[in-house]
A and B are shown apart, each in its own frame.
Chain A
Amino acid sequence: MANFFTDNKDIQFQLEHPLMRKIVELKERWFAEKDKYDTAPRNFEDAMDSYRRVMEITGEVAAEVIAPNAEDVDTEGPRVVDDHVVYATGTRQNLDAITAAGLGGITLPRRFNGLNFPLVTFVMANEMVARADAGFENLWGLQDCAETLNEFGSEELKAKYLPQTAEGATWAMTLTEPDAGSDLGAVMLKAHWDEARGTWLLNGVKRFITNGDGDISLVLARTEDGTKDARGLSMLVYDRRSMCHKVRRIENKLGIKGSPTCELVFTNAPAELVGDRKMGLIKYVMALMNAARLGIGAQSLGLCEAAYREGLKYAQERAQFGKAIINFPAVYELLNNAKAKIAAGRALLYETTRFVEIYKQWEHISHERELTAEERAEMKFYNRLADAFTPLQKLFLSEWANSIAYDMLQIHGGSGYMKDYPIQRIVRDARITNIYEGTSQLQVVAAINHVTKGTYLSQIEAYEAMELPATLSGVRARLAAMKTRFAEMVARVEGIEAEHKGEGFKDFHARRLVETAGYIIMTWTLAAEAAVKPEDYTQQLETFVRLAEAAVAGAHAAAMASEWDDIELYRTVLSGEAQ
């Protein structure tokens, strides 16, 4: 039986990471519930055994049900019937199978019928589901919205909505509007308090809403009359069963076709306030977005994995000039680079997930009891790392989902351009990953402060303190050289910015700086893995350090040769003439 967990030792390796002990203890509050629930783990080994088993089931459902449905779902797609979404046949089967396997509410507390598993396992499940069908992952992965409600909702709201997730309820993150995409502060959908009915009522239009007709929606709406910016926005939860919304249309997309992207009209739709008024965008959407960015990282990685395996298989089977094409340097280099990037990207994704997990659990614990000074410091430490690493992993993995899919299609030659092979679907599906939940350009905006404020640098120094086997001393030296270049780039860019007392130069070079930090960090995370399991990761590390050096050298050359005047040079395009 095909299984996307048991056939992937790199995912299994992530589950066995040393930090898992800390994560499990935090998540389980030192096994406080072991006598309260017969589903609660008795100790660390017991918990890990359950995670492995459940991940194996997830791998089975992904490989045996979701993957075989992917092509039909891509062709059939969802429809609008009587103002509501009808999923493709395969999508419905996928949802039924994944619910039957009990995979709803993976991270939610037991009292809301969740599994109370760590975020790592949810991210892993998303990676495997995305490898099977990224479009399905797109709508199933939205259950991370439940985690935001769990974090900020009242006990009453949680009791009402969270248990439904375990039963298979799907979620939607209802944020964007025709004139509010990247700029969510411009959201206009109105929510007003109806005194007679004792509820908030939603009126307005939402656009580009993934799974917009889902069972439970978190809606960003303007609750403060007369306001025009982020401070007038609140978050509300809407129950589909109210049926006060209509799906005006489903977008005809390039990829992830199984996932319905809806235009919605709300008419006097009752909704309940999540947390405090006016904190909708400032606090809750930011939390939602951070979780979603981790989700897109997982989705992108699943796509990378799927693309790589398609490329590898084709290169082994296809013969030209009397031999399998994998024997040609032009082909095996593409494959080897993809493999190394996947290893590095996976290391970064799960490292980020662990940081997010530790910080989030301390935060949850802080609502249950007062933290000690030491615990508080640890929470802040991991919070900062989570903020710095989340945009980084989203940026790299989503760009690589595209470039790896592109290269793997290239290996297929003309056949890859035909709809006969899955690779064309993977290419189409990947294209959205570096656009939604914040474009790559916006990930750079979120990350650049951590370049200038030193978060990345201090974490690089933490990695430097790590012991590496003697065989990896060459990698350490190369990393040191890259770090020097990084420091030179930062100094130059900041120097010129300060000299001209103007803004724009740092923004102009932001992506180069962020990517340089990213390459160094990923080389370190992969080196850490090679130190533990040299037989599996040394080769990927050796490839990746070469890729990283080339990328850093390019960025360094560009930044070091750049002058303030460059901004004017590049701004000439602003004149707006096509010729």
Chain B
Amino acid sequence: MKKLKIVVLAKQVPDTRNVGKDAMTPEGTVNRAALPAIFNPEDLNALEQALRLKDRFPGTTVTVLSMGPHRAAEVIRDAMLRGADGGVLLTDRKFAGADTLATSYALSCAAKKLAPDVIIAGRQAIDGDTAQVGSQVAEKLGWPQVTYAEEILGLDGGKMTIKRRLENGIEVVEAPLPLVVTVNGSAAPCRPQNARRILKYKYAMIPTEVAADPESLAAEMTAKHDYLQIAEWGADAVDPDPTQLGLEGSPTKVKKIDSVVFALKESKCLRCTDDEINSLIVELLETHTLG
């Protein structure tokens, strides 16, 4: 098989990498309004792996599947400017409040409809950091999954060879299609948007965006060219079991949130002398841990 149908799972996330002082609400939840919405970084690594397959096997299509509010169409558009063929935005109030179980259920329903040969996703999103969605989609589809992928090395006779980056080294595995691959942040960075694709695809939109400004040039262009139409699917379009969707389908209940500041990364031994204690205090003051 030399012509693949690839679905890339992508999420629009608040940029938690450059967090200002208003990043959290007083209630301890993420203040999404204060953080710019970005393409989840590891999903970009996943997209790059998909685009490399497309480069290698002409005729391959890359479709970006995302679930989120209307504005999440932005990540699909961005992916198209980088090389994806098109996308589907799953958007419906019925999906709202989903935990990873309900999210992966909805995504797997959409994936069934798209019927790809391979689904490639980022390892995890920087807002939830669960790394569960890609794996759960594989489980729900009953497909094999390869996690922590760093590079898709080859494709031969319906089997994909994949390099995995693990804590203790590198592992090369082979897996049959159809398959779910989740990609590590150590994989190749995604290519930039392409000037020619910008000219061609910059007006790509979902129907809701078109309806918001029907007189715009963008609306006119979208009506004229099918390739500018990003699909927008509500819950009904993927024919799910409604009890497994959204808040109802989410067994996760948040009881309490602790603000954990530090992760233990390296340890330091100090002897109990005045000098060493002083130097520790100075260091902690300098890094604003104290004071």
Identify the A interface with B (CB < 8 A).
38-43, 45-46, 49-50, 53-54, 57, 60-61, 97, 100-103, 106, 115, 166
Contacts and interface: CB of A to CB of B under 8 A. Distances in A.
A354 to B, nearest CB: 22
A117 to B, nearest CB: 8
B279 interface: no
B140 interface: no
Given A38-B225, A42-B217, A43-B217, A50 B199 contact: yes
Contacts of B198: 50, 53-54, 57, 102
Contacts of A101: 191-195
B2 interface: no
A39 B196 contact: yes
B196 A102 contact: yes
A68 B225 CA distance: 39
27 contacts: A38-B225, A39-B196, A39-B199, A41-B199, A42-B217, A43-B217, A45-B217, A49-B202, A50-B202, A53-B193, A53-B198, A53-B202, A57-B194, A57-B195, A61-B192, A97-B192, A100-B194, A101-B191, A101-B192, A101-B195, A102-B195, A102-B196, A102-B197, A103-B195, A106-B195, A115-B196, A166-B196
A56 to B, nearest CB: 8
A5 B110 CA distance: 39
B contact residues, range: 10 to 19
Contact of B217 (A40, A46, A54, A103): A46
B94 to A, nearest CB: 35
A166 B196 CA distance: 10
Contact of A115 (B191, B193, B195, B217): B195
A63 B58 CA distance: 31
Interface in B21-51: none
Nearest to A47: B199
A373 B141 CA distance: 72
Nearest to A52: B198
A115 B196 CA distance: 7
A53 B194 CA distance: 10
Q: Give the 9 A-B residue pairs with the shortest CB-CB distance, closest first.
A: A102-B195, A39-B199, A102-B194, A102-B196, A101-B192, A54-B195, A100-B191, A53-B198, A57-B193
Given A100-B192, A101-B195, A102-B194, 5 more contacts: A60-B192, A100-B194, A102-B195, A103-B195, A115-B199
B226 to A, nearest CB: 12
Nearest to B194: A102
A145 B221 CA distance: 35
Interface in B4-31: none
A45 B217 CA distance: 10
Given A61-B192, A101-B193, A115-B195, A39 B200 contact: yes
Interface of B: 191-200, 202, 217, 221, 225
Nearest to A117: B195
A43 B218 CA distance: 12
A97 B191 CA distance: 7
Nearest to B83: A100
A102 B197 CA distance: 8
Contacts, number: 49
Nearest to A39: B199
B82 to A, nearest CB: 9
B204 to A, nearest CB: 12
A543 B215 CA distance: 48
Nearest to A121: B195
B37 to A, nearest CB: 14
Contacts of B192: 57, 60-61, 97, 100-101
Nearest to B221: A42
Contacts of B200: 38-39
* Most-contacted residue by chain A among B193, B202, B217, B225 (CB, 10 A): B193
B236 to A, nearest CB: 33
Nearest to A58: B195
A46 B202 CA distance: 10
Nearest to A166: B196
* Most-contacted residue by chain A among B191, B193, B195 (CB, 10 A): B195
Contacts of A38: 200, 225
Nearest to A41: B199
Contacts of A54: 195, 198
A100 B192 CA distance: 7
A562 to B, nearest CB: 53
B192 to A, nearest CB: 5
Nearest to B203: A46
A57 B225 CA distance: 25
Nearest to A100: B191
A42 B202 CA distance: 13
Nearest to A35: B224
B116 to A, nearest CB: 24
Contacts of B193: 53, 57, 101
* Most-contacted residue by chain A among B191, B192, B194, B225 (CB, 10 A): B192
Nearest to B228: A38
B113 to A, nearest CB: 28
A43 B195 CA distance: 18
A116 B63 CA distance: 29
A46 B196 CA distance: 14
A7 to B, nearest CB: 15
* Most-contacted residue by chain A among B193, B194, B196 (CB, 10 A): B196
Contacts of A41: 199
Nearest to A116: B199
A103 B197 CA distance: 11
Contacts of B221: 42
Contacts of A46: 217
A61 B82 CA distance: 13
Nearest to A103: B195
Contacts of A106: 195
B126 to A, nearest CB: 14
A45 B202 CA distance: 13
B224 to A, nearest CB: 9
Contacts of B196: 39, 102, 115, 166
Contacts of A49: 202
Contacts of B202: 49-50, 53
Nearest to A42: B217
Contacts of B199: 39-41, 50, 115
Contacts of B225: 38
Contacts of B197: 102
A38 B202 CA distance: 11
A43 to B, nearest CB: 7
A49 B202 CA distance: 10
Contacts of A115: 195-196, 199
Contacts of A100: 191-192, 194
A57 B198 CA distance: 10
A24 to B, nearest CB: 14
A39 B196 CA distance: 7
A39 B200 CA distance: 5
A38 B203 CA distance: 11
Contacts of B195: 54, 57, 101-103, 106, 115
Contacts of A166: 196
A354 B193 CA distance: 27
A103 B199 CA distance: 12
A20 B240 CA distance: 53
* Most-contacted residue by chain A among B197, B198, B199, B217 (CB, 10 A): B199
* Most-contacted residue by chain B among A40, A100, A103 (CB, 10 A): A100
A538 B194 CA distance: 37
Nearest to B198: A53
A39 B197 CA distance: 8
A113 B194 CA distance: 14
A254 B199 CA distance: 40
A50 to B, nearest CB: 6
A398 B196 CA distance: 33
Contacts of A53: 193, 198, 202
